[in-house]
């Protein structure tokens, strides 16, 4: 299970002190938690204090600051550092074919519907909170299949995958599509051999796969620049970091963004709440379909 910041033991707090890190007091933690809630809707409970201290100590050192008081003052006045702080407090853990039952559903159930639509209209798929791109390229490989022939429907239609995240460094990785041998290990060989090529020690997504994907920085709570509706949205292991009000708000926006009959995939420990529950039906483990698309 992922977490933005996980709890840590008293011994790790001692280790932090011994390493010369500044101590994070409750007032400064509360100020940081407020900024996280306001700007990214990320909810930090007091149990995260040691990890927040650990993650931000590097930021203090980078600015030559010795107290969190000074750092909090700095982020209050400096939007760039505020953004860097938010990024430092996100967790970007991801991997190829994570929660594989979603990709089985995508291949078996969603694909025939998407292929049918692609004959008549543009098809749009969004990996929201994409981290370094493993999720969006897993989707791409499912759509491409395991041969050049199985990918022909994508060449004939207008199919695009959007990958967004608030952390610029992971979006840059998603745009590049370059992964280590260890990272590509979960990819079935038939997909990897067809859609990646080895360059030195790394594996690079081939151009046909990369060309399907547009990677952009986007805070999910800002305005969304996309104009058309989406057929499939993946937002997995992102909403665990939000409180219920933020989850309900975001899920309602996903519903508005989805075409009737479109699919929403969420993380294994997440659930739909609020207005979204009325507009969507559960059609698999953490998979939802928007009402109105099929008879």
Ligand X SMILES: C[S@@+](CC[C@H](N)C(=O)[O-])C[C@H]1O[C@@H](n2cnc3c(N)ncnc32)[C@H](O)[C@@H]1O
Our finding on whether 166 is near ligand X (CB under 6 A) is: yes
Our finding on whether 131 is near ligand X (CB under 6 A) is: yes
Q: Which is nearer to ligand X, 151 or 218 (CB)?
A: 218
Our finding on whether 98 is near ligand X (CB under 6 A) is: yes
| Cβ 274 to ligand X shortest distance, Å | 17
| Cβ 187 to ligand X shortest distance, Å | 14
238, 255, 266, 289: which one contacts ligand X (CB under 6 A)?
238
Our finding on whether 236 is near ligand X (CB under 6 A) is: yes
Whether 165 sits among the annotated catalytic residues: the reply is: yes
Our finding on whether 241 is near ligand X (CB under 6 A) is: yes
**Catalytic one among 55, 69, 253, 271?**
55
219, 249, 273, 284: which one contacts ligand X (CB under 6 A)?
219
Our finding on whether 221 is near ligand X (CB under 6 A) is: yes
Phi first, then psi: give them for residue 163, nearest 5 degrees: -125, 120
| Cβ 216 to ligand X shortest distance, Å | 11
Whether 82 sits among the annotated catalytic residues: the reply is: no
Site for ligand X in 74-93 (CB under 6 A): 90-93
CA dist 123 and 46 (Å) reads 43
Q: Please choose, from the candidates 238, 230, 284, 236, the residue with its C-alpha nearest in 3D space to the C-alpha of residue 255.
A: 230
**Catalytic one among 117, 165, 192, 236?**
165
Our finding on whether 251 is near ligand X (CB under 6 A) is: no
Our finding on whether 286 is near ligand X (CB under 6 A) is: no
Q: Which is nearer to ligand X, 70 or 221 (CB)?
A: 221
Our finding on whether 252 is near ligand X (CB under 6 A) is: no
- Are the beta carbons of 280 and 291 closer than 8 angstroms? yes
Q: Please choose, from the candidates 199, 181, 200, the residue with its C-alpha nearest in 3D space to the C-alpha of residue 189.
A: 181
| Cβ 135 to ligand X shortest distance, Å | 5
21, 173, 237, 286: which one contacts ligand X (CB under 6 A)?
237
Token pair of 212 as six digits: 């399907």
Q: Which residues are designated catalytic?
A: 55, 165
Interface with ligand X (CB under 6 A): 2, 40-42, 90-94, 98, 129-131, 135, 165-167, 170, 219-221, 236-238, 241, 267
């Amino acid at each position: 299970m992922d977490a933005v910041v996980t709890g840590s033991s008293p011994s790790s707090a001692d280790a932090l002190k011994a390493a010369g890190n500044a101590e994070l007091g409750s007032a400064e933690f509360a100020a940081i938690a407020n900024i996280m809630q306001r700007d990214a809707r990320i909810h930090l409970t007091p149990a995260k204090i040691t990890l927040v201290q650990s993650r931000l100590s590097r930021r203090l050192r980078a600015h030559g600051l010795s107290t969190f008081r000074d750092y909090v003052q700095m982020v209050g006045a400096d939007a760039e550092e505020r953004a860097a702080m938010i990024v430092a407090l996100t967790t970007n853990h991801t991997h190829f074919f994570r929660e594989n039952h979603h990709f089985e559903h995508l291949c078996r159930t969603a694909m025939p519907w998407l292929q049918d639509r692609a004959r008549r209209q543009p098809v749009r798929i969004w990996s929201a909170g994409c981290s370094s791109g493993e999720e969006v390229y897993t989707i791409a490989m499912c759509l491409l299949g395991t041969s050049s022939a199985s990918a022909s429907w994508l060449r004939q239609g207008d199919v695009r995958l959007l990958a967004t995240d608030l952390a610029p460094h992971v979006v840059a990785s998603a745009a590049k599509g370059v992964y280590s041998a260890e990272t590509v290990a979960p990819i079935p060989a038939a997909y990897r051999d067809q859609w990646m090529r080895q360059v030195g020690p790394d594996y690079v997504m081939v151009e046909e796969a990369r060309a399907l994907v547009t990677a952009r920085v986007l805070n999910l709570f800002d305005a969304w620049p996309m104009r058309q509706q989406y057929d499939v949205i993946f937002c997995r292991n992102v909403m665990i970091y939000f409180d219920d009000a933020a989850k309900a708000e975001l899920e309602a926006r996903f519903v508005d963004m989805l075409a009737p009959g479109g699919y929403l995939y969420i993380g294994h420990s997440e659930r739909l709440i609020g207005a979204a529950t009325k507009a969507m039906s559960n059609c698999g483990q953490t998979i939802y379909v928007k009402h109105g698309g099929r008879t």
